[in-house]
Structure 1
């Protein structure tokens, strides 16, 4: 065992002890975070507008501060972008994380000197938690790759602006700099396909031990490695034993990854976003991720089925239940308040609090009142593939409201690695799994409002071509699992 790996084990033990202290006192921990946030922001423009100085408890806060998404918070953000101080949080942000996807263009998510360290600590602690649980630390001596956006930053009225993953690249600790790949020059390549080709060339003969990124884009990297080497990734990188991912559910990719790697490897799931780092997988044996309650974020939860009602009930951490689909709301030390990031979660454990990401509140299908969510389609596909040789590279689902003939249906666009021998039988398996999970969908099938889902095959690399066509190939961009319209479907059917 090297000095570095021994030190990592000692540090992991220290961090585990600190984590247990707040995880075992969740309600008190969140209450302290809440009080500190209100106190720090009471003299900001937002704090004065919402009478923070009069807020004594969460009930006061819920009355004074309505739920907002980015567009509703935008008037405040725009003032910050122009360079004004003390708007949503004291002083100015140190960065803006630039993201896309809103109806009116780019989003500028503030990162402050108080919030930025928690992004870095959470990623570090996820790895240390793995070391503490498994005792495995030798990988710290190998090379590590993090597939991410360019670290080149712009200037916006004196504040640095870039993709979150590119901003984070500036905070890699010195003890990891020698191990980290790709090189700075390669990381700065903007075009994703060119960048992946360069990363393949740069890493092919290296001792890669840890690989991290969004599964769909790591898959592209693995496929290019296999093509270059003529053998599985696990033979090219004999010491590669840890895959770290976030952004999407890994399960639809797992079978393909194990084939590309040639063996099973441990994995750590993360739940990061520009708005904050919310959770990480703290145990290999557990399905959910540990919700980070001591990271400058106060969480609220609204039941998904109540979210679009006039005045939905807002729950705090001590009030949540297992298995319920909640919309996640945030108030943070970057100045977001009762902020809807669009993600939905379900709790898998209450001691400690662990979550899975169940989907997006905007990414669902409810063209007929079925309200199908991302977790349901991913689970149904996984069940249908069990004990088969079928494997899937990527998929998305959309409603077909007005077919040329017959009843409406859900259309599944699937890029197969191994295609089913009987497509109708495979579609029926998915459909039955969907009906077991979603009673509304089942009612629509039984009542002959909908017919069994239809699968449309997508050609090899078809989804990459779609993402390229909308300027979102690579980086932190993700294909929506569900759409309540035909915008994505039209790309493949027109």
Structure 2
């Protein structure tokens, strides 16, 4: 009996540890350990919880009787009872007396909530706008969450209704007429009538829209033309209309409501200034012949109407040079002690911002101490003068920063900003390596929340589960797009078969195909996703890679996800051996691309080349020997996980891989080069994990050690 009591006590204490972890001030993922002087059974229970419980299990342990279901605790009975009660109440209390009580009570409660909830240093107009917007989004998001839950039980029906609504929205367009889409009545009819397409198929319609010819791809007049980065090919242009804008706002409300149930999203990200680490210079925005602007979707005018809600004055976004603008962004973020969230779009942007902070912290501290902005000819005089109006000498803050910087940069994020709880950025695919370093070094204990999977074409999925780390999972949005999926084995076929959202299988990989309100029909996204779970009938998926981002000189199809996974394992082994501190960045290519640029090869036969920026443990380490060892480990790890690769290696059809070490910050220079030689903004640029462009390969060849 005594052992049973001690065991129950141990479990209770372990649960307290879990609760302390979950309810920590910034939703940190740091587990509160049990002290060594506590009973052995208690420590065992704590270790069991820490090691064996995934985020879902821990959440359920800390909230008995609750689930992660998005279903609202509202039934028809409760709604009916509430309506009847409200209607009958005037029979017992005179209506005038009731209003005398209700109106003042609601007003007082709202005012108290407003003054405690909103940021006091904002102008009153901004405070009111942000507060009212957050409340509207909360209640609208509550309704959309209820709708999402109901839709998840009848997915096929919902998707069919969504398809018909999207086709009806653009039924009178030239594209719809040319493809006879106006009288489609079912999913089957649509799939038979319209082929799977890529951007070139719709390019003539988009170009006519940009020239001012109306009703080509969209019925409504475009409000903006979103332009892709063109990292993996030529840029694509997608029209955005008021219809798609309202869809985006609805998706934002749905996300915000569910995020608020798990993290302090509105409080940290909406009701106080945010550091916007992403940057889009004005020169990137172009005006089309139709008079409508064209540029990155992140620079869509819909987001510029938010007002002065960032840590930096909005005039700073007019700085043309991304480097000069980035310095100003960091400077103003450091001045703000109460920072609760960073908006980075991509993990790489946040990583480079912290990296720059590490190299230029003395200038930043000096500017904060004296209320100055260091000389930079790339900041126009009128912008500099306006920024200086917002800068005041702050010796106290400068001293705080200097002390923390001198301690080193491990965990610097939470030391500079104790209330920093959320970094909103994409952490998958090409950005996984940056997210890993942020979690392990700069931003220990801070939640990196990949809120959605989005592209210029639209929101593809939303992440309602912030603690599913390090690989986020997303839900499709059944009322936003009509989804189809190409199975992995069909991707290379000219006319691939597709399956619907309610026909997917857990563990299988697919390429996304969407039909949208922008007039895109059965449009191949080129994104590979993996189904990992279901919410009722709605598939939940992880992003794998771009479908084109594969090493496949002999048909082996090595995805960028597999490359990163094996590279991480090799890095871990070399780190444990005391030879490598970390891998800062990487890319890869097939040997045939080297032959195309007439670069000398170190070995014969088809093989993979990995360009790796390594940080050895010892400054005088033999980097070339380390590269050979890394290549052997990558080869071994891929062979363990990929049967076709192993088979090709065993018969010598595929030669061993080669690791080509590159100079420090080579990939940062590559990113700057990509930005200078394209029309994309710095925020849009992604380092390709599998090289396809000869000019990028030539650049990295010049960066080799």
By how many angstroms is 1:171 displaced?
5.3
By how many angstroms is 1:332 displaced?
0.6
Of structures 1 and 2, the one scoring higher in RCO (CA 8 A, sep 6+) is 1
2:165 to 32, 36, 45: 36
1:371 to 540, 557, 568: 557
CA 1:138–1:106 in 2, change beyond 3 Å: closer, same or farther? closer
Give a deviation string over 1:270-310, Cα, whole Å, max 9, x none: 21111001112211343443333244311111123312323
Q: Which runs of 5+ in 1 are unaligned?
A: none
What residue is the counterpart of 2:672 in the other structure?
468
2:569 to 383, 390, 408: 383
Asked if 1 retains the 8 angstrom alpha-carbon contact of 2:587 and 2:610, the reply is: yes
CA 1:272–1:183 in 2, change beyond 3 Å: closer, same or farther? farther
1:203-282 to structure 2, matched below 5 A, reads: 203-206=333-336, 207-213=338-344, 214-227=346-359, 228=361, 230=405, 231=409, 232-246=412-426, 248-249=428-429, 250-269=431-450, 270-282=452-464
Aligned length: 491
State the alpha-carbon separation in 2 of the partners of residues 90 and 308 from structure 1.
33
State the alpha-carbon separation in 2 of the partners of residues 397 and 103 from structure 1.
14
Give a deviation string over 1:398-417, Cα, whole Å, max 9, x none: 11246343443211112234
What residue is the counterpart of 1:413 in the other structure?
611
Give a deviation string over 1:363-409, Cα, whole Å, max 9, x none: 22211211111221122223333463642332111112463434432
State the alpha-carbon separation in 2 of the partners of residues 300 and 291 from structure 1.
14
DSSP 3-state at the match of 1:208 = coil
State the alpha-carbon separation in 2 of the partners of residues 386 and 15 from structure 1.
43
Give a deviation string over 1:91-136, Cα, whole Å, max 9, x none: 3211101234289954321101111233344345434422212466
TM-score scaled by structure 1?
0.90
RMSD: 2.9
State the alpha-carbon separation in 2 of the partners of residues 151 and 20 from structure 1.
41
Asked if 2 retains the 8 angstrom alpha-carbon contact of 1:145 and 1:181, the reply is: yes
1:3-402 to structure 2, matched below 5 A, reads: 3-4=117-118, 11=139, 16-101=145-230, 106-123=235-252, 125-134=254-263, 138-140=267-269, 141-146=271-276, 147-150=278-281, 153-156=285-288, 157-167=290-300, 170=303, 173=306, 177-206=307-336, 207-213=338-344, 214-227=346-359, 228=361, 230=405, 231=409, 232-246=412-426, 248-249=428-429, 250-269=431-450, 270-286=452-468, 287-351=471-535, 352-386=538-572, 388=575, 390-401=581-592
2:661 to 457, 465, 469: 457
TM-score scaled by structure 2?
0.64
Asked if 2 retains the 8 angstrom alpha-carbon contact of 1:26 and 1:293, the reply is: no
Matched, 1:427 2:631: yes
By how many angstroms is 1:333 displaced?
0.5
CA 1:103–1:355 in 2, change beyond 3 Å: closer, same or farther? closer
Larger-Rg structure: 2
By how many angstroms is 1:356 displaced?
1.5
State the alpha-carbon separation in 1 of the partners of residues 421 and 434 from structure 2.
17
CA 1:303–1:240 in 2, change beyond 3 Å: closer, same or farther? same
Asked if 1 retains the 8 angstrom alpha-carbon contact of 2:613 and 2:666, the reply is: yes
Q: Which runs of 5+ in 2 are unaligned?
A: 1-112, 120-130, 362-400, 596-600
CA 1:259–1:193 in 2, change beyond 3 Å: closer, same or farther? farther
Asked if 1 retains the 8 angstrom alpha-carbon contact of 2:279 and 2:322, the reply is: no
By how many angstroms is 1:359 displaced?
1.2
State the alpha-carbon separation in 2 of the partners of residues 90 and 273 from structure 1.
22
DSSP 3-state at the match of 1:476 = coil
Give a deviation string over 1:309-348, Cα, whole Å, max 9, x none: 2331111111122222211111110111111122121111
DSSP 3-state at the match of 1:238 = coil
State the alpha-carbon separation in 2 of the partners of residues 430 and 103 from structure 1.
24
By how many angstroms is 1:74 displaced?
0.5
Give a deviation string over 1:411-438, Cα, whole Å, max 9, x none: 1112234569744333333222222332
CA 1:305–1:119 in 2, change beyond 3 Å: closer, same or farther? same
